[in-house]
């Protein structure tokens, strides 16, 4: 089997510094947060980010959906380092420096577009007991510019080095023109372009850019909720997940040499994937409910494990097995974190 080499995997997305801390109910009430939620920051949350750092023992992790996935792919592969390249936008500030250091520690070859108009994006994870309330402030992540970064020769060269590309749907809200350039390159050169539906709001409010990219998508990821919303937006008139997978597979495709693969996860239920003309169910690994600490990074982790096998040219079944393994590891821990080495064979 081919082993992965440097810069084989390319990811682009919203780099966020995850700031997690244990807080009390008063803190949640002060900022009007529910114990278990994921929201985008509004003006009233601005002070939250300064306060959470001051008042609690804080953990920092390089985050953002795509960056999480490529980081986990790198962790699964272990050696060589820098199998994964990552592009995204940060600010020229303290949090940006932490993000660079964290990416380096994860052995990801991050090349950030740095600008000083907006601060580095952050995601505050306010933990109370088993609950975590997430507040994301995209800030700099929103400022990625194709012509200022992706189009530069030295950066584009890294794009062309890759064989597998992964971009979460979240980036459609930032720079669809960047995604299109990368997707077309993959399609024109018979390489593998992967995308994620990421959240129901992407299919609902960013359907146009999503469908502009879809003909170039070789592998599409999503969970059951995102799949159902996507089907509704496209008028599939079915809520059967296998049927949705099949109809998604049959959407128009630019590179006819590769049949589209659709992979939908369903939490503890079987993962659904199109294998050739059929739809196959793949059971996830058993886990005791009491061992589940935090399911939040599970989707990103599944994709990361999947990609680690994909860049080594393993079969689809093997990619899914790797995805199930890494997701199973991540849900036992707070945030998208992992032990030193995987125990996956």
Catalytic residues: 300
Minimal CA–CA distance to 68: which of 111, 25, 102?
Answer: 102
CA distances from 248 to 207, 208, 211, 300 (A): 14, 16, 11, 21
d(CA 42, CA 12): 25
Contacts of 213 (CB under 8 A, 6+ apart): 172, 176, 179, 180, 183, 195
HSE (side-chain half, CA atoms, 13 Å) at 90: 25
Pairing of strands 278-282, 269-275: antiparallel
d(CA 9, CA 87): 12
Minimal CA–CA distance to 189: which of 165, 212, 169?
Answer: 165
d(CA 89, CA 139): 9
């Amino acid at each position: 089997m081919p082993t992965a080499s440097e810069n084989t995997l390319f990811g682009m997305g919203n780099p966020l510094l995850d700031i997690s801390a244990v807080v009390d109910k008063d803190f949640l009430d002060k900022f009007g947060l529910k114990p278990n939620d994921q929201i985008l920051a509004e003006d009233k949350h601005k002070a939250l980010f300064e306060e959470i750092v001051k008042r609690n023992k804080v953990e920092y992790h390089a985050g953002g959906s795509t960056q999480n996935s490529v980081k986990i792919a790198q962790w699964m592969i272990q050696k060589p380092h820098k199998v994964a390249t990552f592009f995204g936008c940060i600010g020229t500030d303290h949090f940006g420096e932490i993000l660079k250091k964290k990416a380096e520690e994860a052995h990801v070859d991050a090349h950030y577009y740095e600008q000083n108009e907006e601060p580095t994006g952050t995601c505050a994870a306010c933990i109370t007991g088993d609950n975590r309330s997430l507040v994301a402030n995209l800030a700099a992540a929103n400022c990625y510019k194709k012509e200022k970064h992706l189009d530069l020769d030295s950066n584009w060269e890294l794009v062309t080095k890759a064989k597998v590309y992964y971009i979460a749907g979240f980036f459609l809200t930032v720079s669809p023109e960047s995604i299109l350039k990368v997707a077309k390159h993959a399609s024109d050169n018979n390489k593998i372009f992967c995308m994620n539906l990421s959240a129901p709001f992407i299919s609902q409010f960013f359907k146009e850019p999503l469908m502009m990219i879809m003909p170039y998508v070789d592998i599409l990821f999503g969970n059951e909720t995102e799949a159902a919303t996507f089907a509704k937006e496209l008028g599939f008139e079915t809520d059967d997940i296998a049927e949705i997978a099949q109809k998604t597979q049959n959407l128009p495709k630019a590179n006819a040499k590769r049949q589209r693969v659709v992979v939908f996860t369903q939490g503890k239920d079987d993962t659904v994937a199109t294998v050739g003309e059929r739809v196959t169910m793949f059971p996830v690994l058993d886990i005791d409910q009491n061992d589940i600490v935090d399911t939040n990074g599970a989707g990103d982790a599944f994709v990361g494990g999947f990609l680690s096998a994909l860049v080594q040219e393993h079969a689809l079944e093997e990619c899914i097995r790797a995805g199930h393994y890494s997701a199973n590891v991540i849900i036992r821990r707070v945030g998208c974190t992992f032990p030193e080495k995987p125990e996956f064979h």
